[in-house]
Structure 1
């Protein structure tokens, strides 16, 4: 029985799971859940994730949501060093993954909701929320930029789940205009991932095509 991943191709979180699975050589079956059509809020899907969010993984009797949890599960199943090559490295990776959820991705997602999602609903963005998110992102990015001044990857000398988690907001930064460009080490690290991790570049193209098509179909110009 294959591992099923439910999600929308335009989702940065689905991108994290698809990329990690490909890097680890884990075979998955992708099941499209069209977020623009509200398919994540059907009674059937809400049985998998009552929050109505994607991605969701189904592996036999195991059902998981939250991309970070899914990637940890897949890495443990595959015995992959994306989760670290030593216990000490593993804890550093987990630290940065938790940091990403608390200090980083949440504010990038909030910006996307204000600047992009609201346009699909015909609502104006709340500039005070966008500014708050930008301030939080700048504070976190300053820490990350200083770290990346001395490291090619977030943890150790190789790609890990920490890189994938923290790189995820770059999926939408051209549209949301979050202030990543102010931090040169952060930009260089992201470009390095695109150049050295083929699936990261491939999934970026997939996200771009999905979101750009949806924007064009709704007659939205950014």
Structure 2
């Protein structure tokens, strides 16, 4: 049975899963969930994830939500080095994935809500919230920038799930105006991923097409 992934092409979280699956050669069936139409809050979907969030994996009787957990599941199933080539690398990958969720991606998501989702709903961004988010993002970005000063990847000498996890906020960077360009090592790392990881570039095109079409239809431009 093909693994099903429920999600929206405009979601950076779905992009993380789609990218990892492509790299690992895992065959997945994309079940579209239109977040803009509220399809993640239907009774049927809430049985899969009571939080009403995507992506969600279905593999037989196994149901997993949260993109990081899904990617770990796929990597273990595929025996992929994306989870690290050694035990020590694996712990480092997990460390950075957990850090990403706690100290990095959460602020990018909230910035998206303020600067993109809010505009779609006709709401002005709250400067005090935006300033707090930017402060936290710059603090985290400075850690990443220093870490990447002498490294091509987050862990070891090859791409891992840590790179995919931490790269996710770049999916909306030109819409959220997140201050990543202020950090040259971080920005160069993301550019290398786009140039050297075809799946990451492919999923960005999918995401941009989806977002640009939706935003244009709602009269929102960036």
Q: Does the alignment reach a TM-score above 0.5?
A: yes
Shift of residue 124, structure 1, vs aligned partner: 1.2
> Which digits, 9 at most, give the CA deviation of each residue in 1:178-198, with x for residues without a partner?
000000000000000000000
Residue aligning to 2:68: 68
The alignment covers a number of residue pairs equal to 222
CA RMSD of aligned residues (A): 0.5
Shift of residue 121, structure 1, vs aligned partner: 1.5
What TM-score comes out, normalization by structure 1 length? 0.99
SS at match of 2:57: strand
Matches within 5 A, 1:1-222: 1-222=1-222
Aligned counterparts of 1:40 and 1:131: Cα–Cα separation in 2: 30
Shift of residue 220, structure 1, vs aligned partner: 1.2
Shift of residue 125, structure 1, vs aligned partner: 1.1
- Where structure 2 has 5 or more consecutive residues not aligned to the other structure, the ranges are none
Shift of residue 221, structure 1, vs aligned partner: 2.3
Shift of residue 70, structure 1, vs aligned partner: 0.1
Aligned counterparts of 1:16 and 1:43: Cα–Cα separation in 2: 26
> Which digits, 9 at most, give the CA deviation of each residue in 1:107-127, with x for residues without a partner?
000000001111122211111
Aligned counterparts of 2:197 and 2:140: Cα–Cα separation in 1: 24
SS at match of 1:172: helix
What TM-score comes out, normalization by structure 2 length? 0.99
- Where structure 1 has 5 or more consecutive residues not aligned to the other structure, the ranges are none
SS at match of 2:125: coil
- 4+ aligned runs moved over 3 Å, structure 1: none
Aligned counterparts of 1:142 and 1:177: Cα–Cα separation in 2: 17
Aligned counterparts of 1:221 and 1:187: Cα–Cα separation in 2: 24
